Structure 1
Amino acid sequence: MQIKSSSSLTQGEPGVLHHITSRLTAFEYTRGSRQKPHSIIFIGGLSDGLGTVEYTSDLVAGLEDTQWTLINLVLSCSYNGWGMGRLGADIDEIARCVQYIREYKEPHYGPSKIVLMGSSTGSQDVLHYLHCPNPRSAHPILDRDWTPVTRPPIEGAIMQAPVSDREGILQEISNGTDRDSPVQMRELYERAVAAARGRTFEDEVDTVVPLSVTARIGYSTTTPVSSRRFLSLISPDSPGHPTEDDLFSSDLSDGRLAETFGMVGVRGLLRQKLLVLYSGRDQSVPPEVNKQALIERWAKAIDADGSSFWDRRSLVIPNASHQLSDPDQAEPRRILVRTVKGFLEDLEEQ
């Protein structure tokens, strides 16, 4: 889900700007004037970019005395690009970043460990990277000139605020706004779904849901959203037939979880552990969702074959907001940093 926040990295941070390709960049924070062998590649959520997730400053500070650096990847779908983006394109870019970082660091430091960390919709990227075929399947329209990308394995993965975009937007609709009642919001939503279904592509190009509609049902007033991405995010046929983006909804069946979390071991792209950090009072999660029970279902699904990918530190962080950006988030941030550091220490020892 898209949560507006301001960056706390306002006074500048030293680092290295990596040009992975001519249009794909990542910024490695090097506080302490040195680079290190191991890397967390950080992927933000909808509308995020470089330094927009406030707790990254806490992570940078917390990692200063470790062998890990934080690398903020700026995807093609970052900032306002998410409305025309898709998880398939994201994981191709993430794969290029993982390969680049290994080739960049290992000649200098020897074996390098890499962790993918996603925040909010970035968590969808992380799970998509781990569970879908490698290389991924081609889209019949969007990938006509696509060259398959084979994803390299990673040592660890972290998902922070892995929430359901579908449940979040339905909550917005059921609450209504000062302008529109829940009934009016529902009518707008259903008309948008019907229009998007009826004309998802035109001349093999994405169509766009009118801003006048998407802005009124909870999305940004300045971000064009394609009919294809709109349908993927809201997944109108769920829970029976979930879309690519519908990975974390609380009403998904055990069978669906077996196709996502349960495929992590089959794909062989996660060498060690997955850590999940769910926010205890996430504004994007309906109040009736049992957060602890949900992550326990994920743990059961990922280790159903007897493997041990689920990290025992995974938890619902008490009082944590969506991206830990509210004024009262000092203690949730401390918990996040402490938990991540413990996770990384164990990865180093294995």
Structure 2
Amino acid sequence: MKFNGTIHKYNDHQVAFEFSPVGLPNALVMIGGMTDGLTTVPYLANLPKVMEPLGYSVVQIQMKSSYIGWGTTSVKEDVSQIKQLIDYLKSEDGGSKKDVVIMGHSTGSQDVMLSLLTISDDIKAGILQASCSDRECFTLYAPKEVRDRLNAQAKKLLDEGKGDEMLPREFMAYTNDTPVTAYRWCSIMLEGGDDDFFSTDLPDEALKNTFGKINKPFLVAYSGEDEFIPKEIDKSAVLKRWESFSNPKFWSKNSGIVKGASHGVKQLESQVFLYEKISHFFEEFHL
């Protein structure tokens, strides 16, 4: 598949791709998940057509954590690079974009959450799509004794101040062959880690400090048939709980389950449903 658009170099080492049509007044910054890079999110192909009437160009960010880089970085480092891109897009070189909305797919939703909590002054609104828990996903692929053993090994290194140390190859069986540091493993796989925003067993206090502190409009578009969410999890109940801790002024009434959608929303009918949610969200808050 061929994509038309413009490559932007927003810092010394990373780029972003603005899909055609380029040059619209505002920007929707798309943040992929683990192993994602430019154009790899399935529903990106037609998203620019959805956003054009709303006055938003779609810009996908490439970060240090893109592709297999996620294992040696952090969500905080991602947010730093997202901030760099936003500043660039608002500059004359980047097209003097007026407003910037950020949208995260999968682990990109963690980036959206932390961005809304730390750099909200730079952001008009946020979208969290396929915001599942990596910690709970791990339960689908490894028995408890294996999880406990690997987690303890990584936590020991972290506690010894060796968070940047690479974990043994055994760990890569659970990371799609991605090299991973002790810090990033613990961030993703341990309760309360820096990446642990969406686990369904988090205490109320944790949600008060995340969903409860968002002060910009946001949409949650939860994939209905997400293969990385354990089947026993009640997705509707999860959304209701998140909503209960959120300020009703900012929680979108269009938040909900994307019917029939896999984690990556590969189904065309589900993509149309997602596009409708996004369009209605922008209309709801006059973005």
TM bucket by the smaller chain?
Answer: over 0.9
Q: 2:211 corresponds to which residue?
A: 261
Out of 56, 63, 74, the residue aligned to residue 75 of structure 1 is 63
Q: 2:253 corresponds to which residue?
A: 312
Out of 35, 44, 50, the residue aligned to residue 47 of structure 1 is 35
| Stretches of structure 2 lacking an aligned partner (at least 5 in a row) | none
Runs of 4+ in 1 over 3 A off after TM superposition: 104-109, 201-205
Matches within 5 A, 1:13-32: 13-31=3-21
RMSD across aligned positions (CA): 2.1
Aligned length: 287
Matches within 5 A, 1:1-350: 10=1, 12-31=2-21, 34-104=22-92, 112-132=98-118, 152-173=121-142, 182=143, 186-200=144-158, 206-215=164-173, 218-221=174-177, 223-235=178-190, 238=191, 242-265=192-215, 270=216, 273-303=217-247, 308-325=249-266, 329-347=267-285, 349=286
CA distance in 2: counterparts of 1:323 and 1:76, whole angstroms? 21
SS state at 1:172 partner: coil
Instruction: Give the residue type in structure 2 aligned to 1:198.
Output: K
Instruction: Give the residue type in structure 1 aligned to 2:175.
Output: Y
Deviation at 1:230, TM superposition (A): 0.5
- Of all paired residues, the percent bearing the same amino acid is 32
Q: Deviations over 1:39-87 (max 9, x none)?
A: 1000000010100101001212323444111100001100010001101
Q: 1:137 corresponds to which residue?
A: none
Give TM-score scaled by structure 2 length: 0.93
C-alpha contact 1:99 1:152 (8 A) present in aligned 2: no
CA distance in 2: counterparts of 1:250 and 1:108, whole angstroms? 40
C-alpha contact 1:117 1:123 (8 A) present in aligned 2: yes
Deviation at 1:201, TM superposition (A): 7.8
Q: Which has the larger radius of gyration?
A: 1
Deviation at 1:106, TM superposition (A): 9.0
SS state at 2:46 partner: helix
C-alpha contact 1:95 1:152 (8 A) present in aligned 2: no
C-alpha contact 1:188 1:213 (8 A) present in aligned 2: no
Alpha-carbon spacing, 1:30–1:205, altered in 2? closer, same or farther (3 Å)? same
C-alpha contact 1:41 1:72 (8 A) present in aligned 2: yes
Instruction: Give the residue type in structure 2 aligned to 1:332.
Output: S
Give TM-score scaled by structure 1 length: 0.77
Alpha-carbon spacing, 1:255–1:68, altered in 2? closer, same or farther (3 Å)? same
CA distance in 1: counterparts of 2:24 and 2:156, whole angstroms? 51
| Stretches of structure 1 lacking an aligned partner (at least 5 in a row) | 1-9, 135-150, 174-181
Instruction: Give the residue type in structure 2 aligned to 1:199.
Output: L
Deviation at 1:308, TM superposition (A): 0.5
Alpha-carbon spacing, 1:82–1:107, altered in 2? closer, same or farther (3 Å)? closer
CA distance in 2: counterparts of 1:14 and 1:21, whole angstroms? 22
